[in-house]
Structure 1
Amino acid sequence: MSKALLPQAFWFRLAASAPFVEAMPRPGGQGPLLDLPAACTLPDLGALEGRSSWASVRVAWNQHGLGVAVLAEGRSKQPDRPEGFADIHLWVDTRDTRNVSRATRFCHRFSARLVLRPDRKTLDVDIGQRAIARALADAPICDPSDLSNRATVAKGGWGFEVFLPAKVLHGFDPENNSRLGFAYQVSDHEREDQFLGVGRDFPLGENPGLWATLELKP
């Protein structure tokens, strides 16, 4: 059978639910930052292309902001390689724009690089907000210290949690707008990159029209 010219995810517009979770972020420096339940897991579209996804991504919201957790299966064969342990990219559009192909001031990109510490048991996180190429207007760039995050590594895989507070999401207004544009890319340099919908064969990082919709559920 010949390979499809376009991925299956290209042919439909994904809308996923993000449940309301009051107790996040959790206080203190120990334990989970978010501890999101399985009900917050986004759909796995890898099966549409005959792939087995290796990471589970969970998303929830409350009046204070948006929480995202990545749970990856399996350990890297070369965890201390120079390019880092893993990378996570998140895109959020607080207006769920559908009629433009370039980012507006309501579109945000956040990136995190996980790097193994010398003890080979814990991870450092280099996280920040990045500008979006070819944007019609830029969202305000936040201070990295506003992005609460936690990364863990274990025999069975690794995890990453981040809380994006309302003040870093320009236009975040769940009472009047319960739909967000959302996309992610999870990479560990030894496995195929994982996306929510279409991947880098398309201008995913620049075109919010390619992002999925998150419906903020009460």
Structure 2
Amino acid sequence: MNQIVPPRFLFRWSFTARKLANLPRSSGRLLDLPDDCLLPSLSELEQRRDFATVKLAWNDGGLALGVEVKGRSERPQFVQGENQLPDGIGLWFDTRNTQTVHRATRFCHHFVLLPLGGGPKHTLPVVKALPVARAREDVALPDAALVRIQSEVSSTGYWVDVWFPAEVFSGFDPGANDRIGFHYAIHDTELGNQNLAVGSEFPFESDPSLWQTVELVP
């Protein structure tokens, strides 16, 4: 369907994230978020189907995110080099949910998650903190070593659980600000790309006004 303006761009989207007190878990699977933490799919507006599910939750200690990719015909592989993007997930957060600025503030954060590529055999998941493109000012990157990540890779896809403790974010204070800006972009070398709302036709990598709102509900 050829459209000048993508349907997802016509609306300002707002989603909810549940408060779950027992996160992250100390043993077994890190998160394993329930289905009522699932973010709704917007792909139907463009007559497409998502290949990944994304779940969000929170508590006073931080944010929890779970991603599961299904439908591959072969196991994801570690990709090294700059000629091909690896299978992975880009995340953008704005702890002040400033919807009226077009350049990132110090409350904006960018992370990249890879289901594999870490460790001596490149089989462990990876989390990286990166600068937000065209940010208003240079700020120190959060310590990605504080982020807990777990993954499992199979012949048909993978899942990734990630726990972002509150201290990796500048300005994370659910008591004072119960709405955050959020966007994700999932790249899969076999299945393509999936975005929360707008895609690569818009500069979401650098423009927080294109990120959507997540309400941190009790």
TM-score strictly above 0.5: yes
Q: Is 1:182 aligned to 2:179, yes or no?
A: no
Aligned to 2:23: 24
CA distance in 2, matches of 1:163, 1:182: 15
Deviation at 1:61, TM superposition (A): 0.5
Spell out, residue by residue over 1:127-176, the C-alpha distance to the aligned partner (whole angstroms, 9 max, x if none).
11100111013453122211100011235431001111100110000001
Alignment of 1:70-149 (within 5 A): 70-77=67-74, 79-80=76-77, 82=79, 83=84, 86-115=87-116, 123-149=123-149
Give the superposition deviation at 1:113.
Answer: 2.1
8 Å CA contact retained: 1:139, 1:170? no
Counterpart amino acid of residue 180 in structure 2: L
> How many residues are paired up?
213
Structure-1 separation of matches of 2:138 and 2:71: 37
Q: TM-score, normalised by structure 2?
A: 0.91
Provide, for residues 40-72 of structure 1, a one-character-per-residue CA deviation record: whole Å limited to 9, x for no partner. Answer: 000100110010101000000000000010011
**Helix, strand or coil: the match of 2:19?**
coil
**TM-score, structure 1 normalization:** 0.91
Q: How big is the alpha-carbon RMSD for the aligned residues of Structure 1 and Structure 2?
A: 2.1
* Identity across the alignment (%): 39
| 8 Å contact kept, 1:84–1:116 | no
Matches within 5 A, 1:187-206: 187-206=187-206
SS in 2 for 1:19: strand
- The verdict on how the C-alpha distance between 1:160 and 1:173 changes in structure 2, with shifts beyond 3 A counting, is same
Q: Which runs of 4+ in 1 moved over 3 A?
A: none
Q: CA deviation at 1:112?
A: 1.6
* Match among 29, 50, 55 for residue 52 of structure 2: 55
Equivalent pair of 2:8/2:42 in contact (CA under 8 Å) = yes
- CA–CA separation in structure 2 for the residues paired with 1:41 and 1:138: 34
The 1:97/1:138 distance shift into structure 2, 3 A limit, reads: farther
